[in-house]
Amino acid sequence: MLVGNLLPTASTRKLNGLTKALAKGLSGEGNSTKDGSITINELNLFLTERVKKLTDGSHSPTVTIPKTVSDFPLATK
């Protein structure tokens, strides 16, 4: 069942900010150290900055990483 407007609107584009940022981050843009590996901390920083930009500041993702969890790679290029 389809409900509502199927064309993207400003608000739906903003809601897709996290998905877009996650895809970009894992595809290599989140690798701030340029070492070929994207770690959880690098991705966290990338998502925070990119989602704010994509949503004109209306969304601000937060990630809580337990102190007992060391930084680790999520993806490699």
Q: Is 38:4 a contact under the CB 8 Å cutoff?
A: no
Domain-embedded: residue 23: no
Structural domain that includes position 72: 34-77
Average of pLDDT values for 64-73? Answer: 94
Domain-embedded: residue 9: no
Write out pLDDT tens, residues 3-32. 444 555 555 555 588 888 999 999 999 999
Domain-embedded: residue 10: no
Q: What is the pLDDT of residue 32?
A: 95
User: Considering its fold, how many domains does the chain have in total?
Assistant: 1
Q: Which residues contact 50 (CB under 8 A, 6 or more apart)?
A: 17, 20, 21, 24, 25, 29
Domain-embedded: residue 49: yes
In terms of phi and psi (left: phi > 0; alpha: psi -120 to 50; beta: otherwise), the region of 75 is beta
User: What is the SS3 assignment for 65?
Assistant: coil
Q: What is the pLDDT of residue 1?
A: 40
Letter for the amino acid at 3? V
Q: Find the range with the poorest average confidence among 9-23, 25-39, 43-57, 60-74.
A: 9-23
- Say how many C-beta atoms besides its own lie within 10 A of residue 29's C-beta: 15
Domain-embedded: residue 72: yes
Domain-embedded: residue 6: no
